Amino acid sequence: MRGRVSFMARSARAGCAALFLGMTGAVFAQGAAVAIAPEATAVLKRMTDYIGGLSQFSASTRNTLEVVTLEGEKLQFDAAAEVAVQRPNRLRAVRNGDQQAQTLYYDGATLTLVDRSGGKERYASLPAPATIEGALDLARAQFDLEAPGGDLLYRDAYALLMEDVVAARYVGTTLVDGVRCHHLAFRGTQTDWQLWVADGAQPYPRKMVITSKWMTGAPQFTMMASDWNAQAKLPAERFTYSPGKGAERVGIVRPAVKNDKEGTR
């Protein structure tokens, strides 16, 4: 799989994941007898095929990252993000939160990461591959950066999401922000994750929760997705970065991270 670690495994290593829900013990009560339910993978495949088949779209996400300090205290950090995609070779991702203010631009030829943390505008640009998938791989390798729900943007997202799965359940249907969704639960070797997929003709992902189950405190990463728009007007200039006055070009852009005796993020 492009020789890279899956998003689920990266989340475990980075410390992103979950509170234990009361339902979890009941859903997976059979332990080792749990298998990969075809009802769950069918919904996941339908979602990834649908997203992968869109020529363009935009969406918004609200993300919450839990961090467990060395003293065992849980802290939460929130971020809002927006992503715009125009296949096969245009991407823009904006992320603003407690720890960062970043925008990723990809115009088919150049990948640029802009960081506006601390009131300063810094950017780094690299020649980029000819596809969104290649650009996302480059962003991870060079900038250690994840676009919002990054793995969901790949055309082969199903294979990427399933590569570490050892068990899967179809939990049922529920409402997420007023939208009827299929609730799926997956278990991996390092992380467990849940996904809520909209019912109907437009199976967009509406919520995702990732649990780093072997980390102390089992921290959680939660993503809420909304404002999906497959008819968005996406002019070419939206994907190209023009440096502002006083912008500084640098090598690698890293957001400032607060030091308050936290454990691994």
CATH number 2.50.20.20 is the correct assignment for the domain at 11-20+34-234: yes
Q: What is the pLDDT of residue 67?
A: 92
| pTM (2 d.p.) | 0.81
First to last CA, the chain: 25
Tokens of 165: 């799965």
Tokens of 39: 């009802």
d(C-alpha 114, C-alpha 253), whole Å: 8
CB contact set of 259 (below 8 Å; sequence gap of 6+): none
**55-86 confidence digits (pLDDT tens):** 999 999 999 999 999 999 999 999 999 999 99
Lowest-pLDDT range of 15-19, 87-91, 180-184, 218-222: 15-19
